[in-house]
Structure 1
Amino acid sequence: MPKLMIVAAVALVDRDGRVLLSQRPEGKPLAGMWEFPGGKVEEGETPEEALVRELAEEIGIETQASCLAPVTFASEPQDEVHLLMLVFACRKWSGIPQPLENQGLRWFRPNRFHELDLVPADRPVAAQLRDLLGG
């Protein structure tokens, strides 16, 4: 049985209803593909705590667990682990997202998600968010 890897990801939604996506940098697996920001839940962290930490580390913004609303999840077998991705929506944060890990960052309307080269685990999430958020 593969080890379960829990990750938390966010649909950061701006005032215009656009969602921030991150483009994986060169040298990383799935380089050039788009994904929802977030990362691995470390030992002793809740998914919300992990996401608050990851958003500060990856894109330099601050938010609080109370600003994260659970939206959906994805479950996907991978080579040596089984990925369980918990997805939250966030509409309230401070700071301006910056690419602190050499990744691309760009705002997209949810109805454009299908045009993007998304990492496999994010594809079903994108469809659900498009239906939920519209636009």
Structure 2
Amino acid sequence: MTGLINVVGAAVVDSLNAPTRLLVARRTAPPQFAGMWEFPGGKVEAGEAAEAALHRELVEELGIEVHLGPELESGDIAGWTLNERASMRVWFAEVTEGEPRPLEDHDELRWVSLAGRDEALSLPWIPADLPIVQALLDRVAAPA
């Protein structure tokens, strides 16, 4: 048995200092997740640092470069549990270069409001991402 698959994701927001919108991506595959929304990102390759993997994935998937902010911590060093074989670490990120486009694995990108919870929670999220969305909304709503 090999170790846990490490995945990284980005909570791309319009501003790290005062986020009001979150960029979300709609999956095209695999079939069980097609049409569902997620945080952009992907697998960490062997020997790759998690943050470097996230930068690489965002260039490949969305054509953007970002400044990473704080990690949205799950309380587990491995990150958020995706399934029995994979976990994901998620960082807040702000676009520094490029205009986000669905280049790979997605057919639509959308900015959703972080004011309240309704818009973000009304989307059909990949089930493993939903607790992360809820934690993100809690974090953004909490006083600094």
Pairwise TM-score range, normalised by the shorter structure: 0.7 to 0.9
| Structure 1 unaligned regions, length at least 5 | none
Alignment correspondent of 2:113: 109
The 5 A counterparts of 1:1-135 are: 3-15=3-15, 17-25=20-28, 28-64=31-67, 67-72=68-73, 73-78=79-84, 82-101=85-104, 102-110=106-114, 111=117, 112-134=119-141
Q: Counterpart of 2:66 in 1: which secondary structure? A: coil
How many percent of aligned residue pairs carry the same amino acid?
40
Paired residues, number: 130
* Alpha-carbon separation, structure 2, partners of 1:96 and 1:21: 14
Structure 1 residues 50 and 109, CA gap change in structure 2 (3 angstroms): same
**8 A Cα contact 1:48 1:68, kept in partner:** no
> Which stretches in structure 2 are left out of the alignment for 5+ residues?
74-78
SS of alignment partner, residue 103 of structure 1: strand
SS in structure 2 at match of 1:55? helix
Report the AA paired with residue 77 of structure 1.
Answer: N
Per the normalisation by structure 1, the TM-score is: 0.85
Q: How big is the shift at 1:29?
A: 4.1
Per the TM alignment, residue 3 of structure 1 is displaced from its structure 2 partner at its CA by: 4.4
- Contact 2:83 / 2:128 at 8 angstroms: preserved in 1? no
Moved more, 108-117 or 124-133: 108-117
Residue 89 of structure 1 deviates from its aligned partner by: 0.2
RMSD: 2.1
Distance 1:59 1:76, change over 3 A: closer
